[in-house]
A and B are shown apart, each in its own frame.
Chain A
């Protein structure tokens, strides 16, 4: 076996997707993570797992919508359980006008009336007079998806080794002679030490379990101040998210945020008031000023970062582009620095 020339650091969704893509294409490399596995220390752990490029176009720019359309097929190809049941968007009572705004700014949806909502999600019968159904969207369980990729890599004899980026930062040749890429940094917000325009956007979420409510697809509830979504994880478990706060604080969900998330869920269906709170999660998403992802080359390093709230949606396309660059030198459309 060839001696690995390349190391990838970070086993969040960006690092694992890239590792899976490179392994699939036959590259030999080593993969490191500071905890040796995807877990609570990375924001992928707390993600919603919606593969919803068209809903995201409410605020996200064109590349997110286009690149995000690769995601569902990629995940499925890697044996992840992708549920292709679409997304449902609702607004309650006096916020109904939000739905018209959402419809104007998105595409690939159809209007459904009260009966249509009930047909899609019987447990939400009578809760909303109309909604928007995005039939082509999908969702997955982030933790299961990450675990699935770890298993795939393991079956190819690629373990995740435990080490910090700092362990590799000696003997750097950033400004020196042209050198082949030897390190790929997929550390998310931890890479802000090198990527100075990277900032954290705090997100808070909950995992709840309801004995009464079952959903087949992610449901977004629009609200001018507190939009939420519920992503079903099966067996009555839901991910309830998420706040978006300009802060790199990675711990400590506030009372206010949790209160607002839970109140919105309760407004969607009072039966959710009986749900059990399983977890309260918080982390900060890595984002560049335009909230679009980047691939950057600096000497022997390649940075893949800035996936913001679109980790599971964009990591497959980022992996494809980074792999194309490594194998054929093709410049990724998201590359804004290329010093070698």
Chain B
């Protein structure tokens, strides 16, 4: 696994912290699945007078790397302001950069994303941009100073899995040494395994766990699938073939009747 801005994470599982039935269930999901990064959205209304402190304290107590995000920001300047607040609140210069361009599909705004990434990299942030599988956009984000990319699997909250495997494979192949996290759109552990089999470095999800009937069990299922996919990738999988190939030789087989 590639490291993220010099940090080698203990597991390739990054987990969001929104929409759980309770913080206690969120805590159990992290502890039992050994997710190694917690993303947390910073709302401006909660940041004022540190009104969100009760919840943030619980996040810090998870004892994992915190990755604040700029969820819900629709312009570069909003995202930049939110990132600066997040840096103060969580004492980290890691930031997951989300600039939403389309309120229905929550698709990233490529122009605002590059603009905000440029500013934040200059301001000393370690930027994790939430992006699509677009190669040109990836190129611009790397130019802006990002050293990690977070391509989507599918639009946020859809649970559709990797809807453009071809595009994701191209992106992976184009930048083999850039750490990449599949972020958003995953619904099932098998989809996370698929992402890891493709050679991505980590997987980030939230809704699929938080909204499951048993979020703790689902988090553990994802953790296992991510490990399985990771292990499969290092084991160098066979190439698919068009023709059947018997796994035992035909020659020398006994004739029966």
Q: Kindly provide the distance from the CB of B20 to the nearest chain A CB, expressed in whole angstroms.
A: 9
Q: Mark A100-144, 1 if CB is under 8 A from B, else 0.
A: 010011000000000000000000000000000000000000000
Tell me the complex Cα distance, A225–B100, Å: 16
Tell me the complex Cα distance, A59–B24, Å: 13
Tell me the complex Cα distance, A225–B155, Å: 14
The interface stretch among A5-13, A212-220, A244-252, A317-325 is: A244-252
A104-B213 contact in complex given A245-B43, A247-B52, A248-B51, C-beta closer than 8 Å: yes
The interface stretch among B53-61, B161-169, B229-237 is: B53-61
Chain B: number of interface residues, binned into ranges: 20 to 34
Residues of A within 8 A of B207 (CB): 224
A248 with B21: CB separation less than 8 A:
no
Residues of B within 8 A of A198 (CB): 54
Q: Mark B26-43, 1 if CB is under 8 A from A, else 0.
A: 010000000000000001
Q: Kindly provide the distance from the CB of A97 to the nearest chain B CB, expressed in whole angstroms.
A: 10
Q: Which of B43, B45, B54 contacts A252 (CB 8 A)?
A: B45
Q: Across the interface, name the chain B residue whose C-beta is closest to A224.
A: B157
Within 8 A of A (CB), among B146-199: 157
Residues of A within 8 A of B25 (CB): 290
B51 with A290: CB separation less than 8 A:
no
B58 with A248: CB separation less than 8 A:
no
Within 8 A of A (CB), among B46-91: 46, 48-49, 51-55, 58
Tell me the complex Cα distance, A78–B195, Å: 59
Tell me the complex Cα distance, A192–B25, Å: 21
B248 interface contact, C-beta 8 A: no
Interface of B is mostly: helix
B22 with A289: CB separation less than 8 A:
yes
B54 with A245: CB separation less than 8 A:
no
B58 with A289: CB separation less than 8 A:
yes
Within 8 A of B (CB), among A249-279: 249, 252, 254
Q: Kindly provide the distance from the CB of A263 to the nearest chain B CB, expressed in whole angstroms.
A: 12
Tell me the complex Cα distance, A254–B47, Å: 14
User: Which of A200, A245, A249 has most B Cβ within 10 Å?
Assistant: A249
Tell me the complex Cα distance, A225–B211, Å: 11
A164 interface contact, C-beta 8 A: no
Tell me the complex Cα distance, A101–B208, Å: 13
Tell me the complex Cα distance, A289–B213, Å: 19
Q: Which of A60, A101, A199, A249 contacts B21 (CB 8 A)?
A: A60
A61 with B21: CB separation less than 8 A:
yes
B55 with A291: CB separation less than 8 A:
no
B46 with A249: CB separation less than 8 A:
yes
Q: Across the interface, name the chain B residue whose C-beta is closest to A308.
A: B22
B10 interface contact, C-beta 8 A: no
Q: Across the interface, name the chain B residue whose C-beta is closest to A291.
A: B22
A249 with B22: CB separation less than 8 A:
no
Tell me the complex Cα distance, A61–B45, Å: 29
Residues of A within 8 A of B213 (CB): 104-105
Tell me the complex Cα distance, A59–B19, Å: 10
Residues of A within 8 A of B51 (CB): 200, 202, 247-249
B23 with A290: CB separation less than 8 A:
yes
Q: Mark A284-326, 1 if CB is under 8 A from B, else 0.
A: 0001011110000000000000000000000000000000000
A247 with B157: CB separation less than 8 A:
no
Tell me the complex Cα distance, A224–B106, Å: 13
Residues of A within 8 A of B43 (CB): 245, 247
Within 8 A of B (CB), among A208-231: 224-225
Can you report 30 residue pairs joining A to B where beta carbons are below 8 Å apart? A59-B21, A61-B22, A104-B213, A198-B54, A199-B58, A200-B54, A202-B46, A224-B157, A224-B207, A245-B45, A246-B46, A246-B54, A246-B55, A247-B45, A247-B52, A247-B55, A248-B53, A248-B54, A249-B45, A249-B46, A254-B45, A287-B22, A289-B22, A289-B23, A290-B22, A290-B23, A290-B24, A290-B25, A291-B23, A292-B22
Q: Which 5 A-B pairs have the closest CB atoms?
A: A199-B54, A290-B24, A246-B55, A249-B51, A247-B46
Question: What is B's interface to A at a CB cutoff of 8 Å?
Answer: 21-25, 27, 43, 45-46, 48-49, 51-55, 58, 157, 207, 211, 213
List 11 additional A-B contacts (Cβ < 8 Å) besides A199-B54, A252-B45, A290-B25.
Answer: A60-B21, A199-B23, A202-B51, A224-B157, A224-B207, A224-B211, A246-B55, A248-B51, A248-B54, A249-B48, A291-B22
